[in-house]
Amino acid sequence: MKPPPRGRFAPSPTGRLHLGNAYAFLLAWLASRSRRGNMLMRLEDLDPDRSKPEFERAALDDLAWLGLDWDEGPDKGGPYGPYRQSERLGLYQEAAERLAERGLVYPCYCTRKELRGAASAPHVGDAGPRYPGFCRDLTPDERAEREAGGRSPALRLYCPDGEVAFVDMLRGRLALDPQELGGDFPLRRSDGVWAYQLAVVVDDAAQNVTQVVRGDDLIDSTPRQILLYRMLGFQPPEYLHLPLLLDHEGERLAKRHQSLEIAALREAGARPEDVAGYLAWLAGQIERPEPRRPAELVEGFDAARLPSEPTRLPPDVAGRLVRGAGISAE
């Protein structure tokens, strides 16, 4: 019998949470709580220009309003702190040094303009343009010449050829080739900001996270992260990638959907049990959209009932949630 999982919330405080974020966080919470697992809250505030304290506070307030709780985090403390990535930078440095000692990383002097203009760097979906390898095999003299010219390097991982296989709790076995998903990927930007791929692996391993539930827009990140787990000698968690919620035009939810922000729904008078019940219905966990608190959904949660395709929301979903009316999907 598997031990209870350790799940996590990991919002980025770069904007306000919307209905799609709430959907993923609710299901992450249910996937853990239904197996008597713990939840930790980690704020992924690596981007110093976009991360704001007001968004941090709003994320915690929105999730608590929805009825979700966590056992440890920046507001509660716990044995695996600190719980803000901006306070964990030394751990990322140590991990990068371990990789460098084994010759697994290299400095990259390419600018964004150079990468965008490279004919050999086609865009490969959410993974971005495939790195053309301009700096992969530079000699020490060539690196010194670039640094003498004032270029500060990013840090990239030598990405090996071949597929990385893993089991997704919803999709089953998957095998993806990181070289087909962007190739050598950055671990640190040229301005010194640590990249998501390295930080999330170091943190999930150090904080003993054993279950990651997130949107399937991040599925391309999974083989790259598993590579890092293996290189650093860590055990990867189990993954569940959720099909996304889309707006009525079929576009993924984003900051432009201000009416679907949790704060906007709250301010307009929506009740948390109506929002949670509606999201649970979209996730196949209840038969019709009706008010439910997250705690009432724990016992009946079944990952096998989750949808296998994206869900398109009706155009008036915000108004119906505010009115507490019955809602049907389109």
Enumerate the active-site residues: 255
Nearest to 224 by CA among 167, 171, 183: 183
User: Which DSSP symbol is given to 220?
Assistant: T
Beta-bridge mates of residue 238:
211
In 191-247, which residue ranges form alpha helices assigned H by DSSP? 196-206, 221-232
Burial (CB count <10 Å: 0-12, 13-18, 19+), residue 149: exposed
CB 307 within 8 A of CB 243: yes
Q: What is the CA radius of gyration of the chain?
A: 21
CB 36 within 8 A of CB 5: no
CA angle 303, 309, 315 (to 5 degrees): 110
Segment (H or E) for 308: none
Strands (E), the chain: 6-9, 38-41, 105-108, 154-157, 164-168, 172-176, 186-188, 211-215, 238-242, 245-246, 311-312
Pairing type for strands 154-157 and 211-215 reads unpaired
DSSP helix/strand/coil, 194: strand
The amino acid at residue 197 is Q
CB 202 within 8 A of CB 98: no
Q: CB neighbours (10 Å) of residue 326?
A: 10
Q: What is the C-alpha separation between 112 and 229, in angstroms, rounded?
A: 27
